[in-house]
């Protein structure tokens, strides 16, 4: 047993009743956890199963989930329609390579995504994670110009407070501070990370930058309406319209990273719809499979796709992840889209929005609370600072909820199927725990 295992066993942690299950003690010393200082992080909670909006721990306790597993499980966990679709697909064919082979789940999904997205966002490139979808969007944008005989456009404009993933290309377009990647500045290419053009001054600064550097820039990349992992910061649709206009003026591609905002989270199926802006490329993941399996998509307009359409093999997009278009994941995504079509998700999101606004309102004016904001099924309480993040997370567990604040923000992004009572429990827990700060 290594030092870490001994220390972890003695840490005031998850407070599990009785002994943890065998797999927990035996395996914990062999995993490396996300975004965690392994020496000081509290050990994770052992989970036995999930159902609806509940996470069931090994000691039988049920936590109401306020996060929906990093915003993926939009229909709640274990939705029978998705489960049935995955089970049927598992019997038929879990996976075949996408090179040289095609199958119904992927082609059906591509057709359905193209029909749901606005404008002529018609060409879908599948991958297996959000970060990779962003990398692909960036490659598409750079090669778009090269294929049209225009060299030198390999940089991007992205925004402070933004987050686009943890792989190298995606890291380079995150906010250098809140994007968690400041250490790697030496590894990453230098892009232009600027203020969102929310008002005149930042709009003028962006315009000056584009005037000077448009010839070096492939595209503008933005999380539309909400910068999620960067702190649940919201901006108006007018910002997105300004970005579309700037991209058009300077002949740049506009890329919307809808990995967080896509599939209803901000109140419409896609944030680009609410803004009435059609980007040139959009990235999707997270809730694409309803939180069941990893899958992502980079979707391009006809204009972008046509720059690759050629007799010349050198103009092809040279990308092809091994699990691209995985049949199980695509079956789950098709089933998730069925649920959006068959069940009143957008009404549920509107009701959640109202309940979040009402339930979180008491936080306004509390000591240390900077802002309380709600957009769609996202509720955020921003504090001046959270002194003991791990301690606050543990307090939420004591209250019977799973809520994981980051930075100085406590947020809720529940499943759209959450009941009013469950949601009220979540907001009451936030009010109580924030009130203790
Ligand atoms: C807007 C956005 N883009 C990209 C990513 C990266 O996705 P993944 O973690 O699947 O690589 C995330 C993840 O939080 C995200 O919120």
Digit-coded pLDDT (tens) for 261-280: 999 999 999 999 999 999 99
pLDDT at residue 4 greater than cutoff 50: no
Residue whose token pair is 């957008």: 346
pLDDT at residue 3 greater than cutoff 80: no
pLDDT of 338-385, one tens digit each? Answer: 999 999 999 999 999 999 999 999 999 999 999 999 999 999 999 999
> Ligand 1 pocket by C-beta < 6 Å: which residues?
129-131, 134, 163-165, 223, 228-229, 257, 259-260, 285
Task: Please state whether 373 falls in left (phi above 0), alpha (psi between -120 and 50) or beta.
Answer: beta
Residue 5 pLDDT level (bands cut at 50, 70, 90): very low
pLDDT at residue 290 greater than cutoff 70: yes
**Which structure tokens are listed for 10?**
């003695």
Distance in angstroms (rounded) separating the CA atoms of residues 434 and 431? 5
Active site (annotated) includes residue 286: yes
Active site (annotated) includes residue 77: no
Model's pTM, two decimal places?
0.96
Which atom of ligand 1 approaches the CA of 227 most closely? Answer: 1
pLDDT of 382-400, one tens digit each? Answer: 999 999 999 999 999 999 9
- Tell me what pLDDT residue 15 has: 61
**Which structure tokens are listed for 380?**
């955020």
Q: How far is the CA of 229 from the centre of ligand 1 (A)?
A: 8
Close Cβ partners of 200 (under 8 Å, ≥ 6 residues apart): none
Closest-CA residue, ligand 1 atom 10, reads: 130
Strand, coil or helix: 435: helix
Distance in angstroms (rounded) separating the CA atoms of residues 232 and 249? 29
- The pick from 232, 260, 281, 294 for probing ligand 1's pocket by mutation, whose C-beta has the most ligand atoms within 8 angstroms, reads 260
Closest-CA residue, ligand 1 atom 13, reads: 165
Active site (annotated) includes residue 163: yes
pLDDT of 58-74, one tens digit each? Answer: 999 999 999 999 999 99
Strand, coil or helix: 222: strand
Yes or no: say if 4 and 29 are a contact pair by the CB < 8 Å rule: yes
Strand, coil or helix: 234: strand
- The pick from 67, 69, 164, 258 for probing ligand 1's pocket by mutation, whose C-beta has the most ligand atoms within 8 angstroms, reads 164
Yes or no: say if 433 and 395 are a contact pair by the CB < 8 Å rule: yes
Tell me what percent of the residues of the chain surpass a pLDDT of 90.
92
Residue 178 pLDDT level (bands cut at 50, 70, 90): confident
- The pick from 138, 162, 163 for probing ligand 1's pocket by mutation, whose C-beta has the most ligand atoms within 8 angstroms, reads 163
Active site (annotated) includes residue 257: yes
User: Of 413, 430, 417, 410, nearest to 377 (Cα)?
Assistant: 413
Closest-CA residue, ligand 1 atom 8, reads: 130
Percent helix, percent strand, percent coil in the chain, to nearest 5: 40, 15, 40
Yes or no: say if 126 and 296 are a contact pair by the CB < 8 Å rule: yes
Closest-CA residue, ligand 1 atom 16, reads: 260
């Amino acid at each position: 047993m290594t030092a870490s295992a001994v220390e972890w066993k003695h840490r005031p942690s998850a407070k599990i009743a009785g002994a943890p299950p065998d797999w927990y003690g035996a395996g914990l010393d062999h995993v490396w956890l996300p975004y965690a200082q392994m020496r000081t992080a509290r050990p994770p909670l052992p989970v036995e199963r999930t159902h609806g909006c509940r996470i069931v721990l090994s000691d039988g306790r049920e936590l109401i989930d306020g996060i929906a597993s990093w915003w993926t499980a939009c229909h709640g966990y274990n939705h029978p329609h998705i489960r049935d679709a995955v089970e049927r697909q598992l019997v038929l064919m879990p996976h075949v390579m996408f090179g040289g082979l095609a199958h119904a789940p992927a082609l059906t999904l591509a057709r359905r995504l193209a029909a749901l997205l606005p404008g002529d966002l018609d060409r879908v490139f599948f991958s297996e994670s959000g970060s990779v979808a962003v990398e692909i969007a960036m490659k598409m944008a750079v090669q778009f110009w090269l294929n049209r005989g225009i060299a030198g456009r390999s940089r991007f404009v992205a925004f402070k407070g933004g987050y686009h993933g943890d792989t190298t290309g995606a890291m380079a377009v995150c906010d250098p501070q809140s994007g968690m990647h400041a250490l790697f500045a030496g590894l990453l290419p230098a892009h232009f990370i600027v203020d969102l053009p929310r008002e005149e001054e930042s709009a003028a600064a962006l315009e000056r930058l584009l005037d000077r550097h448009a010839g070096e820039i492939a595209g503008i990349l933005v999380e539309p309406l909400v910068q999620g992992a960067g702190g649940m910061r919201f901006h108006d649709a007018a910002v997105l319209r300004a970005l579309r206009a700037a991209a058009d003026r300077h002949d740049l591609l506009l890329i919307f990273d809808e990995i967080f905002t896509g599939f209803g989270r901000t109140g419409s199926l896609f944030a680009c719809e609410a803004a009435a802006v059609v980007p040139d490329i959009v990235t999707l993941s997270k809730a694409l499979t309803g939180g069941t399996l990893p899958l992502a998509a980079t979707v391009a307009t006809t204009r972008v796709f046509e720059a690759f359409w050629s007799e010349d093999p050198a103009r092809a997009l040279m990308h092809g992840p091994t699990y691209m278009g995985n049949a199980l994941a695509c079956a789950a995504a098709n089933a998730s889209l069925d649920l959006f079509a068959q069940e009143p998700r957008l009404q549920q999101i509107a009701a959640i929005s109202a309940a979040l606004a009402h339930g979180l309102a008491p936080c306004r004016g509390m000591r240390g609370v900077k802002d309380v904001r709600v957009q769609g099924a996202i509720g955020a309480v921003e504090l001046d600072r959270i002194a003991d993040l791990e301690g606050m997370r543990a307090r939420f567990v004591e209250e019977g909820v799973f809520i994981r604040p980051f930075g100085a923000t406590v947020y809720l992004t529940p499943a759209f199927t959450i009941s009013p009572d469950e949601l009220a429990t979540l907001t009451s827990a936030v009010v109580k725990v924030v009130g203790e700060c």
